[in-house]
Amino acid sequence: DVSKLIERLGEKHSLSVSEYETLVENFNEENAEILRKYADKERRAHYGNKIFIRGLIEVSNICKNDCYYCGIRRSNREVDRYRLTADEILECVDTGYGLGFRTIVMQGGEDSAFTDEFLVEVITEVKRRYPEVALTLSLGERSRESYMKLKAAGADRYLLRHETADSLHYSKLHPPELTLSHRMDCIKSLREAGFYVGCGFMVGSPYQTAKTIAKDLKFIEELRPEMCGIGPFISQKDTPFKDMQNGSADFTCYLLSIIRLIHPPVLLPSTTALGTIDSYGREKGILAGANVIMPNLSPLEVRGKYALYDKKLCTGSEAAEGLRELKKRMSAIGFEIVNERGDISTSKRED
């Protein structure tokens, strides 16, 4: 039965695809509670009660892709497009450093103005100013050569969600020019370039099934990514998926616990999307096994424009007051936000 599966997952960190499917199909509050307990124990073994923060800079909302779910897709004429200059990005980094962030994430659409030359210049300057800061990029699919140049310039980590590990499902979420096999090639290239890699997917995306999620979990088990980002799908009113149902916060938390057990040291964010659909989403994600939060450091003028989905949290847990509020909320549930790079754990703690 299911509690046996959970027990085995906790011990072996591995199940078959059909066992993952059974686990996913048996989502209920009772199993969620069991998983949460195991996941909490594993997270504590690696990270204690520490929560790592990442300063997220949304560098551009210009994108050449047309993903059916995404608010900043190319075809969306309602978006007020922007692109930060190198100086604006560096100003955000300075602010973030001053607030205590020791990981900075540069995230953006696939904007062709972000050439290797431009990015290398920005990465080099960030690392010159703050050698101890970890720099994460989340700029989509690029060539292998490009990834190698960005790594050589000093970037440390790269987030590229795989979106779904099922190729038919992938083709229902993306136009034909985007393929799962190319996405997988990119993830492989990132690894080979020496990046710490993050994959991930949306929970409750249109056409997702227990089977496709089981494949996502098997993929995570095999890849053993340093980071894994999952959050609920949230419809955006100007996309082809505008009338599709949103994912659920509780089911997202259930999967967070499972992912913690599949790969115990993984850096697992309690995402903005989770905080958006549930006012306690971020806390629930942490309690389910997440150990990372990514507050927004983008300039105030552009915050509202990076609208991947409707009602995206863009005030609150950001900047100085926001960070204080976030620290309070985390300490209220027994966790402490720390000013560290927050690299992946390589050993369990003694205590």
Contacting residues toward ligand 5AD, per CB under 6 A: 69-70, 161, 163, 202, 231, 233-234, 236, 273, 308-309
Residue corresponding to tokens 């960005």 = 150
In the complex, least distance from residue 83 CB atom to ligand 5AD, rounded to whole angstroms: 17
- Dist CA 143 CA 141 (whole Å): 7
In the complex, least distance from residue 63 CB atom to ligand 5AD, rounded to whole angstroms: 10
In the complex, least distance from residue 273 CB atom to ligand 5AD, rounded to whole angstroms: 5
Nearest residue (CB) to ligand 5AD, 174 versus 218: 174
In the complex, least distance from residue 232 CB atom to ligand 5AD, rounded to whole angstroms: 6
- Dist CA 201 CA 244 (whole Å): 17
In the complex, least distance from residue 78 CB atom to ligand 5AD, rounded to whole angstroms: 14
Q: Edge-to-edge strand order for the sheet containing 292-293?
A: 292-293, 50-53, 336-338
Query: By the 8 A CB rule, do 306 and 312 touch?
Result: yes
In the complex, least distance from residue 202 CB atom to ligand 5AD, rounded to whole angstroms: 5
Nearest residue (CB) to ligand 5AD, 202 versus 261: 202
Helix axes 281-288, 249-262, angle to 10 degrees: 30
Closest residue to ligand 5AD, based on beta-carbon distance: 309
Nearest residue (CB) to ligand 5AD, 9 versus 213: 213
Query: By the 8 A CB rule, do 250 and 287 touch?
Result: no
Nearest residue (CB) to ligand 5AD, 78 versus 350: 78
SS (H, E, C) 67-78: CCCCCCCCCCCC
* Burial class (CB within 10 angstroms; exposed 0-12, middle 13-18, buried 19+) of 341: middle
Query: By the 8 A CB rule, do 140 and 109 touch?
Result: yes
- Dist CA 155 CA 3 (whole Å): 42
In the complex, least distance from residue 333 CB atom to ligand 5AD, rounded to whole angstroms: 24
* Burial class (CB within 10 angstroms; exposed 0-12, middle 13-18, buried 19+) of 70: buried
Nearest residue (CB) to ligand 5AD, 212 versus 236: 236
Nearest residue (CB) to ligand 5AD, 196 versus 241: 241
Nearest residue (CB) to ligand 5AD, 21 versus 163: 163
